[in-house]
Amino acid sequence: MNARRAIIIRLPKDKCDVNYITRLMALTNLAYRGFEVWVPDIPKNIQYQIYGFKNYMGSLVFGTTPKRWFAETWVPLKTLRVYGDGARKGATDALVVLDFRSSVIRLRQVCRNEPRYVVTIPMPKWVVDRIKEGGDVRFAMIGLKDDEPYLALTAERVVEPHVPSGCRLVVDVNAWNNGVAYGIINPSNKIAEYSPLRPNLRLIDTWYYRAEDLHKRLGKLRRLGLDSTPEAKRLRREIKALRRKVYAYLRDFAQKKVHELVMKAIRLRAEVLIDDVLEESRRELLEMKLPSGLRKIYLAETRRFVKLLATQLEWYGVPYKFKRLPSTICPVCQHELTQLPGRIMICENCGFKAPRDKIPIHWALKAMPRAQVGPS
């Protein structure tokens, strides 16, 4: 099986011609849509690469099929890898050169339309780590995101899924207010470990409400016609910084927790069951009557969490599957559960009682290999 992981790296804007990259992206978009347009003032070798990639449609853009009329199509490029021992792999006409001897990546003619124009960036540690794990970076892409130039690298690796030890790692992904719950079920079918992973909600709420406060003050200034005063500008800057802080914090939290879970799964040679109940979480959040901004924050990066988890499990050859594990149905008698204060669930039929986040783990206990669990 081929596993893939990707990274994006911001390129120095002062060394890139954004208009040129925009044109390359437009050509790529046409190529994806089946047109072949040869432009006289863009180097032929770049255009050859764009059309040469048509066969890979759907496989390149981080494993997703580009939308048909998506204007911002990143430009796929081949790479040449020059390893520490001098060995070379890849296309000799590649415009992206990963040079491990001098620890740099060289981009030829893709950042600006000038003969022999080269942009050099330091080799990211991410690339070195993937190579150490037996990966190879055969493809790169350049493109713009929010008008900033980026380089995307895709590492590929052939993996043999590991043979499960009989341990199961159950990951129940909810909105951040409840967090991600995980449980480890050992080979004798006992819950060996259980813990919810929750970001610091108080910190998130503090940042959110501070930004809301500033927003109100900004509104007042606006109504007084003081929109463009230094005070208003300062407020705007501060609001933006606070919002950015919340998202950066959640992104970082998601990344760290994914890494921890993946390392646990590798260590235990576990099979992973993922229950992604984000739709249910969304509904639950609506019932809680939270401000819509906060609701959005509680769901931010949760999809990415699931995607990162699946990608990294694949990369390390950890078998996993998605499974619906109910949290409101009794795992013993399948009677509807009643929720008590403190998110404790109780079955009025058989007396079963457990914290709500632990119910999915109990369901997973019942899901012995090949057995069918609950409604799917």
Shortest approach of Zn ion to residue 206 CB, angstroms?
A: 40
C-alpha neighbours within 13 Å on the C-beta side of residue 336: 1
Task: Candidates 3, 330, 359, 364: give the one binding Zn ion (CB under 5 A).
Answer: 330
Residue 332 makes contact with Zn ion by CB under 5 A: yes
Residue closer to Zn ion (CB basis): 44 or 335: 335
Q: Which stretch binds Zn ion (CB under 5 A): 20-28, 211-219, 348-356, 362-370?
A: 348-356
| 293 neighbors 313 (Cβ within 8 angstroms) | no
Residue closer to Zn ion (CB basis): 62 or 352: 352
C-alpha neighbours within 13 Å on the C-beta side of residue 200: 9
Q: Rounded to an integer, what distance in angstroms lies between the CA atom of residue 96 and that of residue 74? A: 14
Q: How far is CA 177 from the centre of its chain?
A: 19
Shortest approach of Zn ion to residue 332 CB, angstroms?
A: 4
Residue 224 makes contact with Zn ion by CB under 5 A: no
Tokens of 338: 């009643």
Residue closer to Zn ion (CB basis): 113 or 349: 349
Residue 345 makes contact with Zn ion by CB under 5 A: no
Shortest approach of Zn ion to residue 351 CB, angstroms?
A: 7
Shortest approach of Zn ion to residue 331 CB, angstroms?
A: 8
Residue closer to Zn ion (CB basis): 199 or 331: 331
Task: Candidates 261, 273, 347, 373: give the one binding Zn ion (CB under 5 A).
Answer: 347
Tokens of 244: 């950015």
Task: Candidates 269, 349, 355, 366: give the one binding Zn ion (CB under 5 A).
Answer: 349
Residue closer to Zn ion (CB basis): 288 or 350: 350
Shortest approach of Zn ion to residue 287 CB, angstroms?
A: 24
Q: Rounded to an integer, what distance in angstroms lies between the CA atom of residue 294 and that of residue 210? A: 12
Residue 340 makes contact with Zn ion by CB under 5 A: no
Task: Candidates 226, 263, 288, 350: give the one binding Zn ion (CB under 5 A).
Answer: 350
Shortest approach of Zn ion to residue 349 CB, angstroms?
A: 5
Q: Total residues contacting Zn ion (rule CB under 5 A)? A: 8
Name the residue with tokens 């802080």: 245
Residue 352 makes contact with Zn ion by CB under 5 A: yes
Residue 348 makes contact with Zn ion by CB under 5 A: no
Q: How far is CA 29 from the centre of its chain?
A: 24
Task: Candidates 88, 101, 244, 335: give the one binding Zn ion (CB under 5 A).
Answer: 335
Task: Candidates 333, 336, 340, 343: give the one binding Zn ion (CB under 5 A).
Answer: 333
What is the binding site for Zn ion (CB under 5 A)?
330, 332-333, 335, 347, 349-350, 352
